[in-house]
Structure 1
């Protein structure tokens, strides 16, 4: 049976929209503003920019180069570099599965809160409404004890949209969806920021965010926070960009695309900071307190603080809520689509299945796990621990291992530099190899050491040790073990892969001869 040709993006703009959509997610809106505020305000932008140039964009270029050169999912691409490296790819696929399972439920919450904003259903106490009335959250983690229908049905809807987009394919599904979602997200957030800037006290919030504390530049933790934010916000370290780049045409401007995606993501984070802190300034002004007393991040910012702000607004509260939670929904959907696509692509390559079959099998299993576990009273406990451990000891650690293996052990950076320069308008210099092989692994290594040291000194969020060992450490270690185990099984399509490798080598030789 003949191998089907690999799908391709219709246009470079379509690829960029998808890459930007993957990078711009929930963390841009609810994590970056608080991280910047806590780490020097306006002065934080300097280490943040340096981190973008010395780690974020170099890593993006590396992942683009791997995907573009080998035109395969992450496990198969890494296998083609060195067979043992395939385990890293399956490790990243396992990470994507875990992230997708819990990420979808946050989008489902956002969908419900779009509706809640119209009538401000949370009443006088948004905190009690969110945790007690909406989530029906249990006091402590444990076995699933019930089902929360108000969370379940929007979650089913989220998965229906994601799987439908993926089933339509790269060009007709992911590309077309992002051409709608990204402009929509920009319009929603620009309207949100414009409304936030007109609020009484907005300047108070912006002063708190952007007033520079230059002494913070001497604090090593500030620089670690900058690199951590860049690493987590660009969707690098868990194979998304390797997968997306594998659908590019032979001639593709990899460095230019990385610069556009990287700076677009950072621009949105800056815009999010303006909108969020303008709103927090209004909240502080209305309450007669300092911004430091209302500033927060994560779930507390989105589903408790912002409903409080919406309730306090004299006019236009419903519109403000629709814009904010609509932005969260769209940003979350574009990221979730990219995460699940990593798993779908890997299974397609491994089993030789068609796209619809792979989406139904992989997406269906991911959706089922999500729907069974998270619309429950214990769901938020699982989400909190999953997110913490898979981010700290999954995404970041996998990225560190990938750099060490490809950069230090296999010494493949010169090969990827040559490949990137052959197809890009902006050539990579020595700085790229120095940044990837020197700066990035050292800082990521320090982040790992510091995180483990803190983890071992006290239980995360005060959770019971048994729960952390199973749902936290067990999950993170299990992803590594699963990656290794899957990589040990022989490929049923070994002959087809060998033929494809030979064809790629021939195509690469022809391309080089034509360019010379």
Structure 2
């Protein structure tokens, strides 16, 4: 149901937006919604890339399990799948190696652009279908050995009483929203490369139905195999996706028919298919980010390399930090990557706002067209006129263009204007409502990494930063990638009157990097100041580690420990706390490294002021040295957290990394962003090579 009510309508909109704008997400919002809304495209690109930070780690898990499958590392009498999983996740070097391999494969796949991506995706998708059908056949054979198809029947038997449970519908909506990547900007990105007569509506339906078909095949494969061999299949399938994939399935596949050969084929085929699926998602994620760089005049190869390095570096915390076997989170001792889950907690629902921004752009276009026609005397004023002209404007002008075999009717308008805002509200309210209802008072504590406040804080900082950066963003030329014979009119759009929106190969006229020579250094200084403020919050915050039970809580900082019981709070220095020498040593080392990072950030500000705002001449000083100081500052801030975490005692009883440790990582991100601003707003180096 939600495939047709949410996912496909949004994908149709994305294809139409990208095919007309011929740019990535930033350019699309700039062209369709106007200069003031380019930041919405930046948000969309960021959410996809931020998800890519930790998704590369997850894709590495799939690749590792394919390697274990092909080397018979998951079969045999003495194989304990929980032990294999724990040893892998608790071996940072191995996790990072496979994370790196995923990113390296992705980089090679997209290095040369659209044609290379298309070839790689065709190979991967065809192989995925073949492998999944092979695995499905073996699973069904296993399920039929006892004379029944328990897994098949469980999957397709409808429990009608469950349809009255709102949670069922909300979960279905959530699954549909994420599985098709609707609103994520990927369809916008790929539609840049479409021919003029490409059928976007057929592609949208095909994409949605193919995605759901693969999901059904994969689900049937898993359930049939589990029901064939598991004594308690219901307990197994309700343990969460990671537990099913990496703990339960290896045990199930080890009992495949055909002995060791059958187990090898089943294990290898399934995890190879899973790796292919993960790689196709990574390719889309990286290409979405790269497309935005290329649109703004950067060479493709440099953009691919920069994006890949950034995804690797910012994915390291998800690979290294807060992997715990604490019984508080995992009663059976299974290793859980909690930092990764916190990142998903923060950025996963940001995808909903990407979809909202796409809908807003469509609503804005319809309203603007209706207003223009009212002023010209071509449309009636009032609600009746708006319903007659404005609501269908986007569909009439950009979807039903005559190039599609499927004509989209008013049902699409109803879904985008009525159903979408309702479903969006249901998702957001249910998400935060459940969190507030089950989290108690701690849900509002900013030191709670799984609370509401930390999500709103991160969303607010990122959105606020992008809104401020918007002014600089739209002062850079935007190059539309228009294939030969696919020229289209954008004069009716805000971007049509933007002198800096042009076609690839054109050279900007009456434009120079002197539009606002002080803008770049001001942005760099502002970003660095924010980084320093966050670093100071982390330096003096008492929530690097936290543990709570009822009214009793313990929060550990780099130098102090804060103990609260009911209304009483005591703060004690770590060096005075008996038996806490290791915590004191770890905190002291982390504190020194963080101070070094703050010193580099301060040096970056000083160099920026000297170079751009004074007449003092410093020999050989240029922007390259400022960018290097920013990068060093950001890198050292992130290193401070990693070193601190590594020096903690192995038998630590603390299971929660507090928000101040995460804030230190975010501080490092902003210092690196300052270096990115130094590179990004380099107006004198606009490339006009073919995309």
- Structures share a fold, TM > 0.5? yes
CA distance in 1, matches of 2:469, 2:459: 16
Q: 1:416 aligns with which of 387, 394, 405?
A: 394
Q: In the alignment, is residue 264 of structure 1 matched against residue 210 of structure 2?
A: yes
Give a deviation string over 1:392-413, Cα, whole Å, max 9, x none. Answer: 2x01232134324532686476
Q: 1:467 aligns with which of 437, 443, 449?
A: 449
1:98-137 aligned within 5 A: 98-117=50-69, 118-121=71-74, 123-131=78-86, 133-136=87-90
1:19 alignment counterpart: none
Q: In the alignment, is residue 159 of structure 1 matched against residue 103 of structure 2?
A: yes
CA distance in 2, matches of 1:495, 1:112: 40
| Deviation for aligned residue 1:377 | 5.0
1:402 alignment counterpart: 358
1:328 alignment counterpart: 274
C-alpha contact (below 8 Å) 1:120/1:311 kept by paired residues:
no
1:345 alignment counterpart: 291
Structure 2 CA distance for partners of 1:486 and 1:415, relative to 1, 3 Å: farther
CA distance in 2, matches of 1:471, 1:103: 21
| Deviation for aligned residue 1:54 | 2.1
Q: In the alignment, is residue 293 of structure 1 matched against residue 235 of structure 2?
A: yes
| Deviation for aligned residue 1:311 | 3.2
Give a deviation string over 1:196-248, Cα, whole Å, max 9, x none. Answer: 01114571122222211122223333222222221111111221111111111
Q: Secondary structure at the match of 1:505?
A: coil
Q: 2:254 aligns with which of 306, 311, 316?
A: 311
Structure 2 CA distance for partners of 1:79 and 1:260, relative to 1, 3 Å: same
Q: Secondary structure at the match of 2:254?
A: helix
1:23-62 aligned within 5 A: 50-62=1-13
Give a deviation string over 1:400-435, Cα, whole Å, max 9, x none. Answer: 343245326864763331221112121111111001
Structure 2 CA distance for partners of 1:130 and 1:413, relative to 1, 3 Å: farther
Task: Choose 223-232 or 185-194, whichever is displaced more.
Answer: 223-232
CA distance in 1, matches of 2:425, 2:302: 39
Q: In the alignment, is residue 444 of structure 1 matched against residue 444 of structure 2?
A: no
Task: Choose 180-189 or 218-227, whichever is displaced more.
Answer: 218-227
Task: Choose 412-421 or 66-75, whichever is displaced more.
Answer: 412-421
CA distance in 1, matches of 2:473, 2:55: 32
| Deviation for aligned residue 1:119 | 2.3
| Deviation for aligned residue 1:472 | 4.8
1:381-392 aligned within 5 A: 381-392=338-349
Task: Choose 245-254 or 395-404, whichever is displaced more.
Answer: 395-404
CA distance in 1, matches of 2:43, 2:102: 25
CA distance in 1, matches of 2:98, 2:450: 28
What 5-or-longer segments of structure 1 have no aligned partner? 1-49, 137-146, 510-516
CA distance in 1, matches of 2:477, 2:81: 56
Q: In the alignment, is residue 175 of structure 1 matched against residue 118 of structure 2?
A: yes
TM value normalised by structure 2: 0.59
C-alpha contact (below 8 Å) 1:51/1:227 kept by paired residues:
yes
CA distance in 2, matches of 1:226, 1:52: 9
Q: Secondary structure at the match of 2:320?
A: coil
C-alpha contact (below 8 Å) 1:386/1:475 kept by paired residues:
no
2:40 alignment counterpart: 88
CA distance in 1, matches of 2:105, 2:479: 33
Across the aligned residues of Structure 1 and Structure 2, the Cα RMSD in angstroms comes to 2.8
| Deviation for aligned residue 1:182 | 0.6
| Deviation for aligned residue 1:475 | 4.0
| Deviation for aligned residue 1:490 | 4.1
| Deviation for aligned residue 1:442 | 0.3
| Deviation for aligned residue 1:302 | 0.7
CA distance in 2, matches of 1:205, 1:326: 22
| Deviation for aligned residue 1:135 | 0.7
Higher RCO (Cα < 8 Å, 6 or more apart): 1
| Deviation for aligned residue 1:373 | 2.1
Give a deviation string over 1:79-131, Cα, whole Å, max 9, x none. Answer: 11122332211111111121111111111111111122242448443123313
Which structure shows the higher strand fraction? 2
| Deviation for aligned residue 1:444 | 1.7
Structure 2 CA distance for partners of 1:312 and 1:120, relative to 1, 3 Å: farther
2:414 alignment counterpart: 434
CA distance in 1, matches of 2:31, 2:158: 47
Q: In the alignment, is residue 486 of structure 1 matched against residue 469 of structure 2?
A: yes
Which structure shows the higher helix fraction? 1
Structure 2 CA distance for partners of 1:319 and 1:481, relative to 1, 3 Å: farther
Give a deviation string over 1:458-511, Cα, whole Å, max 9, x none. Answer: 449x999433369755444444334323323243444867x99xx7427999xx
2:93 alignment counterpart: 149
2:433 alignment counterpart: 453
* Rg larger in structure: 2
CA distance in 2, matches of 1:448, 1:408: 22
1:351-366 aligned within 5 A: 352-366=297-311
Give a deviation string over 1:32-65, Cα, whole Å, max 9, x none. Answer: xxxxxxxxxxxxxxxxxx2222222111100100
C-alpha contact (below 8 Å) 1:130/1:304 kept by paired residues:
yes
Q: In the alignment, is residue 220 of structure 1 matched against residue 166 of structure 2?
A: yes
Structure 2 CA distance for partners of 1:162 and 1:114, relative to 1, 3 Å: same
CA distance in 1, matches of 2:454, 2:274: 26
C-alpha contact (below 8 Å) 1:189/1:327 kept by paired residues:
yes
C-alpha contact (below 8 Å) 1:111/1:329 kept by paired residues:
yes
| Deviation for aligned residue 1:366 | 1.6
TM value normalised by structure 1: 0.78
Give a deviation string over 1:350-409, Cα, whole Å, max 9, x none. Answer: 3x0121111112222222222x323325252221111233222x0123213432453268
1:139 alignment counterpart: none
Q: Secondary structure at the match of 1:345?
A: helix
